[in-house]
Amino acid sequence: MKLEHGHIWIKDIQLGNETKVEKGVLTVDPDALAAFLKEDSKIKNIKIDVARPGEEVRIIPVKDVIEPRVKVQGSGNGFPGVTTKMAQLGEGRVNLLSGAAIVTIGDIVGFQEGVIDMWGEGAKWTPFSKTFNLVVDIEPVEGLDPHTHERTVRHAGLRAAEFVGKAGENVEPDEVKVYEIGTRKEEDAKYPNLPKVAYVEMLISQGLLHDGYIYGVNSQQILPTLIHPNEELDNAVISGNCVAACDKITTYQHQNNSTILDLYEQHGKTINFIGVILTPEMTTLEGKFRTCDYTAKLCHNLGADGVIISEEGYGNPDSDLVMICKRCEQKGIKTVLITDECSGWDGMSQPLTDMAEEAVAVISTGNVSHVVELPPAKKVLGNEKAIYTLAGGWEGCIAEDGSMKCELNAVIGSTSEIGYHNCTVELY
């Protein structure tokens, strides 16, 4: 498969009377976008605003972040199986409005969502302080059942990304990047002496507000599934996850999965990248044994010499992480784990709920319990008191001057377990 990403670098977002891209400036017609989204009769009201890097703006509570893009060559525009008809993804040309993001906010079912600060201490911890954010505040009609409410808000964000992404349809990209991997037979013939490396991406799969989707299929309903890496880079995987914001993988992060991009960078140089296995994180012990056994079997049958395993969330998914590790290592497959830690405010608590002696190569993406102090915002998009019920916030964490304390738990993307974050490590 060969996929091209045509990057149109966005330097600003403005609201105007039409939706277009001109000289790096994305202009969006808010009335037209709102009318488009309200074609869904389950949406009562839409409010649209812009948040730029460096502005003293706080966005809360965030549901999802999505990159606006448009397919200009090949099949499968939009989000096939969700907002458009099913189509095979992973080939052709996609134009990306790089540097722009759709950020959805508004009341949803449940309480675990996130915060993005565009400046100051909070901006240091989230990658979405660096994007030009079109903030879409979605108010569904009253009386929806929880699953319909969640689906309505989730689909509105995706449809907003489609609407805005079309502005790049006839724009010449500033840069084109090519991602191409052939069949196993073709790649093994080209790189017979390079170690075969697979990527196991664990997806939260635990019920309402705790799900990922592959071509519109809830990850709860799948066995571990092999996909071509281009499929994820072409909108096949989206987020339905509103658990701890720090390590939820937003749709934007799936679209630009940094682990996949890093593996692509080494393909044909130091490794033979043989594919992505999407693995659900189940809640029952029987489910964990089934998926972990199946994942290790897939890795073995692919002939993998090494596997990188990334987690989504923490707590009981830690067991899935080390169970897959143990099974792969016992089959002679070397593993590297990517996970964050829940180590308490002082960093001294046990970082994972489970461990195995085979887990000897572990990359930490940070401590979700680390407490940050966020200064008062000049402008709040959404409702800052949502922090009281966010994972990582608590009643009374907002001071009289509007400043707040919270754990990284509450900050979108701060400890992303696919490595898409701002955390760095200093070696001494």
Contacts of 369 (CB under 8 A, 6+ apart): 342, 343, 344, 345, 347, 349, 407, 408, 409
CA dihedral (324, 342, 104, 172) in degrees, to 10, reads: -60
Give the residue among 248, 324, 339, 334 at the shortest CA–CA distance from 288: 324
Q: List C-alpha distances in Å: 391 to 17, 124, 243, 343, 412.
A: 39, 19, 8, 15, 11
- How many whole angstroms separate alpha carbon 227 and alpha carbon 398? 44
Calculate helix-pair angle for 146-165, 30-37, nearest 10 degrees.
140
299 is catalytic: no
Q: Tell me, letter by letter, the H, E, C secondary structure of the chain.
A: CEEEEEEEECCEEEECCCCEEECCEEEECHHHHHHHHCCCCCEEEEEEEEECCCCCEEEEEEEEEECCEEEEECCCCCCECCCECCCCCCCEEEEEEECEEEEEECCCCCCCCEEEECCHHHHCCCHHHCCEEEEEEEEECCCCCHHHHHHHHHHHHHHHHHHHHHHHCCCCCCEEEEEECCCHHHHHHHCCCCCEEEEEEEEEECCCCEEEEECCEEHHHCCCEEECHHHHCCCCEEEEECCCCCCCCCHHHHHCCHHHHHHHHHECCCEEEEEEEEEEECCCHHHHHHHHHHHHHHHHHCCCCEEEEECCCCCCHHHHHHHHHHHHHHCCCEEEEEEEECCCCCCCCCCCCCCCCCCCCEEEEEECCCEEEECCCCEEEECHHHHHHCCCCCCCCECCCCCEEEEHHHECCCCCCCCCCCCCCCCC
* Catalytic residue selected from 242, 299, 325, 328: 242
CB 47 within 8 A of CB 374: no
Residues designated catalytic: 242
